[in-house]
A and B are shown apart, each in its own frame.
Chain A
Amino acid sequence: KAGVTQTPRYLIKTRGQQVTLSCSPISGHRSVSWYQQTPGQGLQFLFEYFSETQRNKGNFPGRFSGRQFSNSRSEMNVSTLELGDSALYLCASSSTGLGETQYFGPGTRLLVL
């Protein structure tokens, strides 16, 4: 079974731009969570989607948004990029999201200049 895939793997943007990252979960998984990983803060939860609905949300500003499609693929969008948004963005999928094992993708490394 193919794992979680994320595209693109690397991205360079400038301040003020916006970016869209994509995540394809493991086939059959309906829950997709997004995390931001930085050296100083570690992994921080952004949000979780299940069946196209946002079910959980972390403490990030409204510039961070996401959505999930009917095939469970998910996108996250960051508008008006700031230097501090430079990070590894990870998505994780699980079958129902009810405390089941989350499987992580390799991440998208975003650099904001």
Chain B
Amino acid sequence: QKEVEQDPGPLSVPEGAIVSLNCTYSNSAFQYFMWYRQYSRKGPELLMYTYSSGNKEDGRFTAQVDKSSKYISLFIRDSQPSDSATYLCAMTIAFGNEKLTFGTGTRLTIIP
């Protein structure tokens, strides 16, 4: 079983909808949680970065971490066609450890 599980999708939603993307993990040592967005033929770019449990909001994006359930989420409000991409969750144990463990990614399409 993989340390990080992520539904690969694909997920298609109409423009303006709220999108919910999720990952579960098994290693309770993970402390830092990230969401990356990857457009076709591009490298991943960091969207959100959270430490431990709680919520973090940045514009239309909200990241949630529930360490008790080993579950993290990314919500996208007022989704736009430009949000169409693959979304990857990633996590690591601590500062100083650059070994990020990624989910396999969810391919999202926003339909105009």
Count residues of chain A with CB under 8 A from any CB of chain B.
27
Minimum CB–CB distance from A88 to chain B (whole Å) comes to 9
B63-77: contact bitstring with A at CB < 8 Å (1 yes, 0 no)? 000000000000000
B16-51: contact bitstring with A at CB < 8 Å (1 yes, 0 no)? 000000000000000010001000011111100100
| B104 in contact with A99 (CB, 8 Å) | no
| B46 in contact with A102 (CB, 8 Å) | yes
B80 interface hit (Cβ, 8 Å): no
A68 interface hit (Cβ, 8 Å): no
- The distance in angstroms between the C-alpha atoms of A36 and B6, with both chains bound, is 17
Minimum CB–CB distance from A40 to chain B (whole Å) comes to 8
Minimum CB–CB distance from A37 to chain B (whole Å) comes to 8
Tell me which of B41, B42, B98 contacts A102 (CB under 8 A).
B98
Please give me the 8 A-B residue pairs with the lowest Cβ-Cβ distance, nearest first: A99-B95, A104-B43, A42-B104, A43-B102, A48-B98, A45-B99, A104-B44, A56-B99
Chain A residues close to B by CB (< 8 Å): 4, 31, 33, 35, 40-45, 48, 55-56, 58, 90, 92, 94, 97-99, 101-107
